[in-house]
Amino acid sequence: MEVISNVNAQRSAVRSIAWLGVFVAMQGDMIEYFSARFITVDYWESEDAWRAFREKFLHEYENLDVVCEQVTIREREIGRFKPA
């Protein structure tokens, strides 16, 4: 849970008006935390807004990745989606 608090602090440090929020889902349970799988979905006003954010806050975003690596075995992008 400490890592999740650190992630939330890092996200707060690099907030963007274009960032609309995040959805986090977990497969598994907290008892077997390290065998659980998570998916996070960030919501942005547009892909251009996301790209501008990444460029502006590249250093901070890299710091967030370092924090997340403490509990990440593997990470991959599964796609970029638009509302139906």
Give, as one character, the DSSP assignment of residue 73: S
Q: Do the Cβ atoms of 16 and 53 come closer than 8 Å? A: yes
The pLDDT assigned to 14 comes to 55
The pLDDT assigned to 65 comes to 81
Size of the chain in residues: 84
The pLDDT assigned to 33 comes to 59
For residue 16, count other CB atoms closer than 10 A to its CB. Answer: 15
Give dist(CA 50, CA 41) in Å, integer. Answer: 13
Per-residue exposure over 23-55, b if at least 16 CB sit within 10 Å of its own CB, e if not: eeeeeeeeeeeeeeeeeeeeebeeeeebeebee
Provide the residue-wise pLDDT of the chain in tens; the chain has 84 residues: 455 555 555 555 556 678 888 888 888 776 665 677 888 888 888 889 888 888 888 888 788 888 878 877 888 888 888 877
What is the reported pTM? 0.62
The pLDDT assigned to 10 comes to 52
The pLDDT assigned to 1 comes to 46
